[in-house]
């Protein structure tokens, strides 16, 4: 059996080496998060497009060196009957990018210095009055960030 105090593989958080980044005051933290999304499917996108529902936002005043990086996966589990299409907007160190995820499809992105993720849902077939259609999805995030900077 490996010694957990010296083996990074069996020590998930924090990293087993106290001086992992060459600075004894910082620690690599891993965050795995899975969350459901259920948002109203709107009949048409407004002009200009709304920001959408926030799925993730970095804490205010987070130093750039401490912003999270890793993988984000979104699975649009909406029914193909109402054809709700998700527009996912990711703001990270690369800038702002929007991605379209059709019903019963998925999307995966590598993010660096993640600031925000938002989701906007629309369909040409969505009713404008109750009962509304809803987009459903699963978001999985596997992120790492430095703490103690």
Give domain status of residue 25, yes or no. Answer: no
Q: Is there a domain that residue 17 lies in?
A: no
Report yes or no: 51 and 89 within 8 Å, Cβ to Cβ: yes
Q: Say if 66 falls within a structural domain.
A: yes
In a domain, 113, yes or no: yes
What's the pTM value of the predicted model, to 2 decimals?
0.75
* In-domain check, residue 107: yes
CATH code for position 69? 2.60.120
Burial class (CB in 10 A: 0-12, 13-18, 19+), 105: middle
As for how many domains the chain has, the answer is: 1
Structural domain of 47? 31-147
Q: pLDDT (tens digit, 0 to 9) for every residue of the chain, 149 residues total?
A: 444 444 444 344 444 445 544 555 668 888 899 999 998 888 766 554 556 888 999 988 888 888 999 999 999 999 888 788 999 999 999 999 999 999 999 999 999 999 999 999 988 776 766 677 888 999 999 999 887 65
């Amino acid at each position: 059996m490996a010694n957990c105090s010296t083996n990074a593989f069996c020590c998930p958080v924090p990293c087993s080496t106290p001086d992992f980044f060459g600075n004894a005051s910082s620690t690599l933290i891993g965050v795995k998060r899975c969350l459901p999304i259920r948002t109203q499917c709107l009949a048409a996108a407004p002009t200009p497009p709304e920001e959408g529902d926030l799925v993730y936002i970095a804490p205010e005043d987070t130093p750039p060196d401490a912003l999270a990086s890793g993988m984000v996966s979104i699975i649009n589990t909406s029914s193909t009957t109402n054809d709700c299409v998700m527009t996912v907007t990711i703001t990270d160190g690369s800038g702002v990018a929007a991605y379209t995820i059709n019903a019963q499809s998925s999307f995966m992105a590598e993010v660096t210095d993640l600031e925000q993720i938002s989701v906007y849902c629309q369909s040409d077939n969505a009713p404008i009055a109750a009962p509304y259609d809803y987009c459903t999805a699963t978001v999985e995030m596997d992120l790492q960030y430095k703490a103690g900077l």
